[in-house]
Structure 1
Amino acid sequence: MSNTLAQIETRLTDALAPMSLHIDDESAQHAGHAGARDGGGHYRVDIVSAAFTGKNTVTRHRLIYTALGDLMPRAIHALAIRASAPEEL
Structure 2
Amino acid sequence: MTDTSPSGSAPVLDIESVRADIAELLGEEPAAVGDDDDLRDLGLDSMRLMHLVEKWRARGARVDFADLADLGAPTVRVWSAHLSAS
Fold shared per TM-score above 0.5? no
Quick check: which one's strand share is greater? 1
**How would you bin the TM-score normalised by the shorter chain?**
0.3 to 0.5
Structure 2 length as normaliser, TM-score?
Answer: 0.38
